[in-house]
Amino acid sequence: MIIRENWERVENNILSPYAVLSRKSKGRKIYEEPCDIRTDFQRDRDRIVHSKAFRRLKHKTQVFISPEGDHYRTRLTHTLEVAQIARTLARALKLNEDLTEAIALGHDLGHTPFGHTGEKVLDQICSFGFKHRQQSLRVVDELESGKGLNLTWEVRDGILNHSGSKSPETLEGQIVHFSDRIAYINHDIEDAQRAGIMTESQLPAECVRVLGKGKRQRIDRMIHDIIQNSWGKDYVIMSEEVKNATHQLRNFLFDTVYIGSKAKTEEDKTGNIILSLFNYFTNHPEDMSNECRENLKNEKIERVVTDYIAGMTDRYAVNRYSALFIPSPWRVY
């Protein structure tokens, strides 16, 4: 008995007509024989979870750079919260939960050290620009394990288009787009409150009226609104009222937390680390990892250095910077 075929029959019987069935995937760039246990989307999820890029997310900044405390989010905990919200939505709308989870777990694999600060600096100094969503696709297509993960078209599309102006082709990808915003808005508010940057009472009154008080009520309201307004449709959507309140809350975070708050006091320093490392490795490629030096056979130096820095964790970037630019103590015996 082939277990995968049983799962594919279950999908066919219970999922929405707008869901992506595993057996109808557009496939991989390089053909692979199907697994006898897992569907293609389950295999993609497992490949992402077992990747080095996924493990590195635990030491990459979400919003707070090197916070003193164990309860602030990292890029990994953010990813897990996105996956949880996305799975809830997918199950409620009878969409493909495995595809949704794979996209959610892979959507930030290309994020830089130091969060959006690192992304902004690389975007400014690279001649070809830099967007973490594009780098995430590059990680799964080419960089991971030196040859990529050979994921399905649907997962790759969801990763590439989880942010930006272009919507994912699948409803599962659209769910991740919404889940990403729901997750970061609400957990960034919680982290900012823990850091003493803001209080619940400072939130815009209209947002509180529409979405409720506290993280639990807000997330619950957003999720229920998406389900109610997307049920039976071939697209995923929020009501205008909830969408506007969510957008207003996001703008509030930019004004209060993301720009100019004490959460950002180290930004100039981290930006200088990224710039210094970029300039150094561009001129000293021999000091990069063996894997990166191997990539120089097929890629330009700027591309390889960008990949190298984007893949760093916060602490690895700091350690490399310290080793290269900070004098070591001179021991006298």
**Residue in 60, 107, 108 with CA at minimum distance from that of residue 274:** 60
| DSSP string across 261-304 | SGGGTTHHHHHHHHHHHHHHHHH-GGGS-HHHHHHTTTS-HHHH
Please give the pLDDT value at position 220.
Answer: 98
Q: Which residue has the higher pLDDT, 75 or 267?
A: 75
Mean pLDDT of 152-173: 96
Q: Identify the three-state secondary structure at position 149.
A: coil
Confidence grade of residue 164 (pLDDT, cut at 50, 70, 90): confident
Rounded-to-integer distance, Cα 300 and Cα 53, Å: 22
Which residues are CB-neighbours of 15 under 8 A, at least 6 positions away? 21, 94, 95, 96
User: pLDDT tens across 81-139, in order?
Assistant: 999 999 999 999 999 999 999 999 999 999 999 998 999 999 999 999 999 999 999 99
Q: With left for phi above 0 and alpha for psi between -120 and 50, is residue 38 left, alpha or beta?
A: beta
Confidence grade of residue 26 (pLDDT, cut at 50, 70, 90): very high
Which residues are CB-neighbours of 116 under 8 A, at least 6 positions away? 258
User: pLDDT tens across 179-225, in order?
Assistant: 999 999 999 999 899 888 999 999 999 999 999 999 999 999 999 99
Note whether 133 and 140 are within 8 A (CB): no
Segment among 265-269, 270-274, 280-284 with least mean pLDDT: 265-269
pTM confidence score: 0.95
Q: What percent of the chain has pLDDT over 90?
A: 85
Confidence grade of residue 260 (pLDDT, cut at 50, 70, 90): low
For the CA atoms of 59, 63, 64, 66, what is the dihedral angle to 10 degrees?
20
User: pLDDT tens across 38-47, in order?
Assistant: 999 999 999 9
Please give the pLDDT value at position 161.
Answer: 97
Please give the pLDDT value at position 63.
Answer: 80
Please give the pLDDT value at position 297.
Answer: 93
The amino acid at residue 114 is F
Mean pLDDT of 170-181: 98
pLDDT exceeds cutoff 80 at 147: yes
Hey, what domains does the chain have and what are their CATH numbers? 3-264 (1.10.3210.10), 267-313 (no CATH)
Using CA atoms, how far residue 112 sits from 44, 192, 213, 244, 256, in Å, is: 22, 21, 33, 30, 23
Q: How many helices (H) and strands (E) does the chain have?
A: 16, 0
For the CA atoms of 286, 289, 293, 296, what is the dihedral angle to 10 degrees?
-110
